[in-house]
Amino acid sequence: MRRALLLLLLIPTLALGSVPDTRPAPIALTDSEQSAVSRGKIVIRNEDTPTGGMVTGVADIDATPAAVWAALFDFEARVSELGALEAVSTYREGEPLGVRWELKVFGTSVIFHNLYHRDEAAGWSRYSLDAEKKNDLVSVEGAYQVYTVGDKTRLVYRSMTDSGRSIPSFIKNWLGSRSLNAQLDGIRNRAQAAP
């Protein structure tokens, strides 16, 4: 159970399908969500499953899409932004990019490896668990979208995770929202600080 809780500190979730090299579907915000994002708030949607969950996060960022992509793929910067994240390292360059994640909470480590397929020119990236590596998770799938909305750049984050263990919903929602909010806030701050 501790491993599952750790997972939720970093990888909140949303069902995306299993095709890593296709553009994610556009997001439709409610009027309330659009109002919140327009005021600089981060909007987070949670849907939980017995062994994981799905989450979507949306933030409008006062930076160029290129600055947002650069901040987004600066995974190592997240170590100082997320308390449970112990280490991040790239183990495979190119396409797809391979990234090893290590979380630690209450003395328990969770290690997993994601492959990132990206088409920044088209405004998207998808990732999934690298099945060729040893992972402490059953499944991870996610996507990023980066596109211009007015004079800002919108970042949409979606992720679905299956820990393989039952986790209470209130814990998943609390940890997932807190973690995703910290991630998007860190990405936004770094992108806005870029020259």
Q: What is the DSSP string of 175-190?
A: HHHHHHHHHHHHHHHH
**What local confidence, expressed as pLDDT, does residue 1 receive?**
38
Computed over every residue of the chain, the mean pLDDT equals 82
Q: What percent of the chain has pLDDT over 90?
A: 57
**What local confidence, expressed as pLDDT, does residue 12 receive?**
38
pLDDT (mean) for 62-82: 95
Q: Is the pLDDT of residue 181 over 50?
A: yes
pLDDT (mean) for 15-34: 73
Of the listed ranges 61-75, 94-108, 172-186, the least confidently predicted one is 172-186
The token duo for 125 is: 């990236």
Q: Does domain 2-193 have CATH number 1.10.10.10?
A: no
**What local confidence, expressed as pLDDT, does residue 32 receive?**
96
pLDDT (mean) for 60-81: 95
Instruction: Please state the domain extents for the chain.
Output: 2-193
Task: Provide the 10 A C-beta neighbour count for residue 38.
Answer: 13
Write out the E strands in 35-189: 43-49, 52-61, 85-92, 97-105, 108-119, 124-129, 139-149, 152-162
Amino acid identity, position 160: M
Cα-Cα-Cα-Cα dihedral sign, residues 10, 120, 92, 16? positive
**What local confidence, expressed as pLDDT, does residue 118 receive?**
93
**What local confidence, expressed as pLDDT, does residue 167 receive?**
53
Are the beta carbons of 146 and 120 closer than 8 angstroms? yes
**What local confidence, expressed as pLDDT, does residue 193 receive?**
96
